[in-house]
Amino acid sequence: MNKETALLANARLDVRDQFPAIAGWHYLDSAATAQKPQAVIDAITQAYSRDYATVHRGIYERSATMTESYEAARAAASNLIGGRPNELVFTRGATEAINLVARTLPKNGRKRVLLSHLEHHSNIVPWQLAGYEVDAVPLTPDGRIDLDAAEQMLTEEHRVVAFAHVSNVLGSILDAKRAAEIAHSQGALLLLDGCQAVPRLPVDVAATGADFYAFSAHKLYGPTGIGCLWGCAELLQSLPPWQGGGSMIEKVTFEETTYLDAPMRFEAGTPHIVGAVGLHAAVNWVEQLTLDAIHAHECALAAECRAALSDIPGVSIYGPEDSAGIVSFNVDGVHPHDTATILDDAGVAVRAGHHCAQPLMRWLGIEATARASFAAHSDSSDIEALVRGIEQVKRIFG
């Protein structure tokens, strides 16, 4: 942690009262989905109650206004990660974004994809379904993607390198710029799964050198059902449509159909209009706090949590010391589902299971973990409640 980040860590965020759904509740499952601040709730409510109309083809004024709001959301989401509006495709979520790339990217005779042992299933299964042969990079002892090993493993047969920017289980942060350099050294493309990164730390796709970047709104304090695929403009323009319908066409005849330029060619049908409005409100909300402040806040809480859990005998903690807002752990001799159930009785919500990362569980030599994940609204009281709950787990299971 550098000096600036350390100063921010000492000035903890205080936004808990902006989240109406967590009053009296210790919510530590933000890595699965983030709770929504009132500003996002209000934006969605207004969009449905006062402003609603379809987008892009309506001649009447409200449709034109809603179209402006929809495209303003695209601009805000792309700007958040250092991209441009014509480089950002709205999808149903990060899962669909990765599937889009896997299904439309020409292999050009290169049928292999390089992943890692910590990837979410959404960054494994789409490549398998698209016919790629998967090679998996090992992890370092503290749970990071071993980029030295990746450099040795990468060959000219690999079309894509696809890594999580931040692990959804371990909180480990990828050196994205080096990953891009490694990928490009063999002519491969780099796709980053940014689901856990975008809500937690500043992202600049241009600086990292990534070719594709996927993230979801609901982990960024926005609504479910909408996500984003950022791609270099030239790459996006070279990809064929993957779904057909309204909105993505230029001209349709029974003999031939021509398509709009990217990103519109990838957005067939009526989009999640209000979802885009909610995403824009979420982007505005995190930008007002600043992602530097959110990152420092969450890192400080993760460090505090790791220290508190380390003081409890019989608790195993996974991942690096500098994990980004995520702490996975187990109580010796207790299944994580039992741990989570007892914690729920104590008013603490954690995730328990394999976290859609079964290869990582096998790498760690376990079946599952409990996971506490922090957000801008989290504070030390959440950690205190977590510790009390774990002590209750130990009393029950002796």
| Catalytic center residues | 356
Bridge partner residues of 192 (DSSP): 163, 213
Exposure string (b/e) for 192-203, b if CB count within 10 Å is 16 or more?
A: bbbbbbbbbbeb
How many angstroms separate the Cα of 20 from the Cα of each of 47, 169, 270?
19, 27, 31
Question: Residue 250 is inside which H or E element, if any?
Answer: strand 249-252
* Region of residue 133 (left: phi > 0; alpha: psi -120 to 50; beta: else): beta
d(CA 302, CA 165): 18
Residue 64 burial by CB count (10 A; 0-12/13-18/19+): exposed, middle or buried? middle
Amino acid at residue number 72: A
φ, ψ of residue 60 to 5 degrees: the values are -75, 160
Q: Please answer whether residues 382 and 28 qualify as being in contact, where contact means their C-beta atoms are separated by less than 8 angstroms.
A: yes
d(CA 180, CA 211): 8
How many angstroms separate the Cα of 59 from the Cα of each of 53, 62, 155, 245, 336?
11, 9, 52, 20, 55
d(CA 78, CA 85): 6
The CA-based angle 45-46-51, given to 5 degrees, is 130
